[in-house]
Chain A
């Protein structure tokens, strides 16, 4: 009896399950799977639709803008990720110190606030902040030897500036996450460490940071994946820079340029596929290494 009832129930549940996921499945296929397949198809064919092997990838790689674009983003990622890890973990630990409750909550909120200015809005704000003429920190810029906007956004400064914009909008959310993770550490462990004579620095280094490791890996991987997609920051900056910054700063801009300026969708698709592979490898590393999805 149990088996028959169980089988009926499973079948019923199976049908209902399919009905519940149907809408999502359609969207997943239409806007996840089909564009991916389509990109791969375009990347391996020529303008006439004939198989082209790796030639589109060759064209992309041989383009004089390709290696610099990769280099720009790589350098930006170094600053962005290093800054994120050092400052987010550092600030979360400082905010978690004993006696910080009320003040800590206010500060966490203030740090989180620029998150509302994601997208083009953050770039607009920083265009002003980085212009010595109107900047609220113009005196700092001038002290550092920058008199004009063009000097500030010289190509050599861009990786740091983009990292700063990304940090400004993104760090607050991660500080909140790290704070939550720190809250899950048992007070007994911290108390024991204190009795053993560990100072704040020792406790952080030997207990708190190791216990945050999983979250730090999570943050780095998502920030890396997001960082490879750099587009709106260099795009708007190039519009505002009076020619100082080009429109081919990041691989995504280059892909856009190939598709819409050069009318070469095949090479554009090849660049998209390369970015996709990087994204997937990062996702795979994350799924395998972090144990975040152990729930299933």
Chain B
């Protein structure tokens, strides 16, 4: 959880600080009630659906329709929804979660093994084609990856890898934004003198990377890891196109499958009917890993975003 959980409108600073600042504060504009109202309104807009989602998972479908939207259902209903959800197609949701975890983590590991050395080399070594590679990285990074989904399908189909989990993991592993982040980090935050000293002491290029640069690169490794994990976990289009079987779906695509079986959304839903609170619970379960990573890395994430790079 965030360290700062002060309710809206309270000043968390100790009184002593406030008095010493009172002189300066007198010149400040008085808090504008309109500005406050706008900020609170947007806070409601951003948070209300999340709260609703958490509560919806604790209700029966009947309660969802008839009870107040922001009421808590019951633990029994939550339990029943969980049982129904995990019972769907013999635990498909757990399989999808496992798939998501495997795809995201394997891709994450490959991304880190590939992107960090590449960013390092682009930043501190000279080699032929370096500039070209850098420009190509920038261009590909700015190109939304969804453009290449259908061509990727054609490519993967041509080499007969459709249906293999690598058809999703390997494209996930290609993460030019991570290379760019590592490049920026190594070119701005790594003192060259340190590398030169290491090499004078007889370190090879690899040893200098391994023993000098890498230990200093923890922040950028964490940052690239975070972005890559979230991007892979939340990707829908690529696995939707490339994976043929339900037992291979990641949870994002699985949510779409569940949606197809909700009678209120799809009247042709058959015997496998899924209730809406189960879908709400499934969504909640699907976002939990991202949410956890999110909460734990909040502080340094913000610092990383401020370092000057983000991507939708």
Whether B85 is near chain A, meaning CB under 8 Å from some CB there, is no
- Assess the B8–A17 pair: CB atoms within 8 A: no
Interface residues of chain A: helix, strand, loop or mixed (majority): helix
Given contacts A226-B144, A252-B149, 20 further A-B contacts (CB under 8 A): A13-B126, A17-B127, A24-B117, A27-B114, A28-B137, A36-B151, A38-B154, A38-B155, A102-B10, A107-B42, A117-B50, A117-B290, A120-B252, A125-B53, A127-B259, A128-B53, A128-B280, A133-B65, A239-B256, A240-B262
Residues of B within 8 A of A24 (CB): 114-115, 117-118, 179
Size of chain A's interface in residues, with CB distance under 8 A? 117
Residues of A whose CB lies within 8 Å of any CB of B are 9-10, 12-21, 23-25, 27-28, 30-36, 38-39, 42, 87, 90-91, 94-95, 97-99, 101-103, 105-111, 113-121, 124-129, 131, 133-138, 168, 170-174, 176-177, 180, 183, 194, 199-200, 221-223, 225-226, 228-229, 231-232, 235-236, 239-242, 252, 255-256, 259-260, 265, 268-269, 271-272, 275-276, 279-280, 282-284, 286-287, 293, 295-296
Whether B12 is near chain A, meaning CB under 8 Å from some CB there, is yes
Q: CA separation between A135 and B51, bound complex, in Å? A: 12
Residues of B within 8 A of A296 (CB): 131, 134, 187
Residues of A within 8 A of B266 (CB): 239-240, 242
Chain B nearest CB, measured from A103 CB (Å):
6
Whether B130 is near chain A, meaning CB under 8 Å from some CB there, is yes
- Given A102-B6, A128-B276, A35 contacting B46 (CB threshold 8 A): no
Residues of B within 8 A of A268 (CB): 150
Residues of B whose CB lies within 8 Å of any CB of A are 2, 4-6, 8-13, 25, 27-29, 31-32, 35, 38-39, 42-43, 45-53, 56, 64-65, 69-70, 113-115, 117-118, 120-122, 125-128, 130-131, 133-134, 136-140, 142-144, 146-155, 158, 170-171, 173-174, 176, 179, 184, 187-188, 199, 204-206, 209, 230, 233-237, 240-241, 252-253, 255-256, 259-260, 262, 264-267, 276, 279-280, 282-283, 286-287, 290-291, 294, 298, 302, 305-306, 310-312
